[in-house]
Amino acid sequence: MSRRRASRFDRLLGRVEDLDSRNLAILARRLDRERGLMETVLDTLREGVLVLNDDGGVAYANPAALALAGLDDAALAGDAPPRFPPELAAALAPTVGGGARSLEVEVTYPEPRILRVHLTDAEGPSQGKPLRVAVLADVSAERVQTEDRVESERIDSIMTLAAGVAHEIGNPLNALAIHLQLLRKRLAGVGKEAARSLETVDLLESEVRRLDGIVRNFLGAVRPSRPNLAETGLLEVAAASLALLKDQMEQLGVRATVDVAGEIPPVLADRDQVQQALFNVLKNALEAMDRGGELTLRARSEDDWVVLEVADTGVGIPAEKLTRVFDAYYTTKRDGSGLGLLIVLRILRAHGGRVDISSQPGRGTTVTLRFPQRHRRVRLLR
């Protein structure tokens, strides 16, 4: 309502006792139209608007507020205050001193979500009784996007720094490799003592190759090349990855099962990068199992995703460590590099996909790779 209209109504209301029945009827119709307009406006908002009495009852709630609070019109019909979800009820409770406040609340009913709640006190129209006005907004998607952006920026900053360090390490490694080759040539054919020296050279070259492999793997994680997208069958990639690990599975006595639910459509992906990601996940699964374990690869198609799941019967990951598995150099294995899952994460993100991990200590781990279906990728690119 504009200031101009408010002042006119104020004047009319100020002399309402002097109005005759005709003017009272006109005033009542105007007030009814104004109320209808305001309710129409409030009903179209995506944000929820709640007006609460001092006893906790609801004086007004728009449809969005009812949906966000998991209520319906019947819940407001009785005299007793409605039952809000516990987390929301605690947020709406009056505080000492009153005043305006904003907070975020995680609710589990009617579905898990994050609500931003803005509360302010207002004076009621009836004998100045206090009211509390609450504006509710669902910020679940906003929170996820913010967390993803913060995590991405955190990883990018770490990787930019680490890539420079890896480059500096690579230079002396190349120099060592060159001088070891020269030393080998000088020692060739000199005698028994030279043969012992050559054994030392072999050992040094082996360590240089190992360090070079660590650096190359690290650079692959921190500076992944842009995916060369082409129509790719994920089941073919999965078969190729399992074939590469066939000997290791036989040595461990691990039984592999492939479970395909329905038709699996091709996705737009870089075949080599996807195979690298899936190979890393499968290798982690094998290293987590004792002899005789079971490895299950499941494939299915959802509305927006083509999903590959790799489940093992290994040792599992404790809950306090599960949140760190994507951190650079963090590993639960004695001789692990701590880069395998980071590489998987970077590849899936470059494809517009997601990686989810669930685990139970002593029972095993499931890694879920989600690749966007072609129609979803088209929407993302627009």
CA distance 369 to 148: 17
Residues 367, 62: Cα–Cα separation, whole Å? 42
Specify the pLDDT at position 267: 93
Q: Residue 226, class by beta-carbon neighbours within 10 Å (0-12 exposed, 13-18 middle, 19+ buried)?
A: exposed
pLDDT, residue 119, reads: 82
CATH homologous superfamily for 230-381? Histidine kinase-like ATPase, C-terminal domain (3.30.565.10)
What's the number of CA atoms in the CB half-sphere (13 Å) around residue 20?
A: 1
Q: Are 222 and 173 in contact (CB under 8 A)?
A: no
64-68, 80-84, 201-205, range with greatest mean pLDDT: 64-68
Q: Which of the four pLDDT bands, split at 50, 70 and 90, describes residue 338? A: very low
At 86-95, the pLDDT tens digits run 888 888 887 6
Say what the pLDDT of residue 233 is.
93
The packing angle between helices 3-14 and 21-43, to 10°, is 150
Determine the residue type at 300.
R
Least confidently predicted of 165-169, 346-350, 359-363: 165-169
Domain boundaries along the sequence of the chain: 1-44, 47-138, 144-222, 230-381
To 5 degrees, how large is the angle CA 213–CA 219–CA 223?
A: 155
Evaluate the omega torsion of the peptide bond into residue 110 and state whether it is cis, within 30 degrees of 0. Answer: yes
Give the burial string for 143-178 (b: 16+ CB within 10 Å, else e). Answer: eeeeeeeeeeeebeeebeebeeebeeebeebeebee
pLDDT of residue 370: 92
Transcribe 215-250 into DSSP letters. Answer: HHHHHHHHSPPPP--EEE-HHHHHHHHHHHTHHHHH
pLDDT at site 24: 73
Q: How far are the Cα atoms of 116, 230, 258, 271 from residue 236, in angstroms, in the given order?
A: 46, 14, 12, 10
Provide the percentage of residues in the chain whose pLDDT is more than 90: 14
Give just the sign of the alpha carbon dihedral 227, 230, 235, 241. negative
Q: Record the pTM.
A: 0.47
* CB within 8 Å of 25: residues ≥ 6 apart: none
- In order of 56, 97, 247, the CA distances from 100 in angstroms are 17, 10, 66
What CATH code is assigned to 47-138? 3.30.450.20
| Residues sharing a CB contact under 8 Å with residue 43, sequence separation 6 or more, in sequence order | 62, 63
Smallest CA-to-CA distance from 49 within 73, 77, 69 is with 69
Q: Which of 86-100, 166-180, 256-270, 280-294 has the highest mean pLDDT?
A: 256-270
Dihedral (CA of 256, 261, 262, 265) sign: negative
CB 295 within 8 A of CB 285: yes
Buried b (16+ CB within 10 A) or exposed e, 275-288: bbbbbbbbebbbbb
pLDDT at 7 over 60: no
Whether residue 171 is predicted with pLDDT greater than 90 in this model: the reply is no
